[in-house]
Structure 1
Amino acid sequence: MPQHKTYTVDEAKRTLENYCAYQERCHKEVVDKLQQMHMIPQAIDVIVSHLIENNYLNETRFAEAFVRGKFRLKKWGKHRLKRELKQRDISTYNITKALAQISGVEYYETFHVLASKRLNTIKETNTWKKRKKLADYLLYRGWESHLVYEKVNELIP
């Protein structure tokens, strides 16, 4: 049986401080990392509370950074952002707070640009198939269905 590296609580604290300093992390990622390091549950609790107290781990900050990044870079809609944050066990309060930082104007502008760009890449000649491809793409990205269908009807009459 292969021997895995063992960590003292202090070594694990330092390792996780670096892990959290490099990039915003959620509690779930940190706990998973500690479990991969074969830490016992009591040690995990001690380390997580240490990281929170020393501001390495902050769920609100993580949620806000996550929403900013995925919205600006991947052009995800609010449904997808909310779903991804829920999978990471982020509280409803933090999800709502993070989504609130996206301005309505920026949200609709991004949606319009994304839909227009995607439409230009669809080579389908059949109008119905073209509409379906555009709608499926936008829905997969997490945009609200009423927005998607309005935009599809607007762009492909």
Structure 2
Amino acid sequence: MTDRLKDALRKAASFCAYQERTQQEVRERLDDWGIYGDDADEVIAELITLNYLNEERFAKTFAGGKFRVKQWGKRKIRQHLQQRGITGYNLDQAMTEIGADDYREALAALLDKKRRSLRDDNPLVIKQKLARYAMSKGYESDLIWQVLGEAE
């Protein structure tokens, strides 16, 4: 490995140590540093070997964090992971981070909090606004309507 690649590896390791990253993010950063093709592949392979780069770990951390902190639904989390180049097994593993009971409770709490902020006399309008809000957060429409039906 050349000195240039060793330097890139050191910088990339520091980049990955700061926060979980995907291969796509590391490759983009290497491009910024002028490392391309086989050289970039070599650096990425070394980061994986040294366990600085682990897409399954990234996907699980991302999904769990976005669910707990931002109350995102599975649809939105899945879409953002796919945009970051996470697919297949790693994507499925990320979704297992979100328990079904926790997911339903989070949706109910989200809808309850939003309901308190809405000012409208028509219950149908309120339901519509709640459903739209929950869908924008990435929750599935059938689950939203179930939870809204139980809240009546």
Question: TM-score when scaled to structure 1?
Answer: 0.88
Of 45, 49, 52, 1:53 maps to 49
Length, aligned pairs only: 150
Pairwise CA distance, 1:22: 0.7
Which structure 1 residue ranges, 5 or more long, are not aligned? Answer: 1-6
Deviates more, 1:59-68 or 1:88-97: 88-97
Of 72, 89, 92, 1:76 maps to 72
Cα deviation per residue 1:72-126 (whole Å; 9 max; x = unaligned)? 0001111111111111111221111111122211111111111100111122334
Confirm or deny that 1:135 pairs with 2:138: no
Confirm or deny that 1:96 pairs with 2:92: yes
Q: Percent identity?
A: 35
- State the one-letter code of the partner of 1:141: K
Aligned to 1:152: 148
Of 104, 111, 116, 2:112 maps to 116
Aligned to 1:35: 31
Distance 1:106 1:149 in 2: 17
- State the one-letter code of the partner of 1:139: M
Distance 2:99 2:36 in 1: 43
- State the one-letter code of the partner of 2:124: W
- State the one-letter code of the partner of 1:12: A
Distance 2:55 2:81 in 1: 10
- State the one-letter code of the partner of 2:84: R
SS of match in other structure, 1:56: coil
Classify 1:154/1:48 alpha carbon distance in 2 versus 1 (closer, same or farther; 3 Å).
same
Question: TM-score when scaled to structure 2?
Answer: 0.91
Which structure 2 residue ranges, 5 or more long, are not aligned? Answer: none
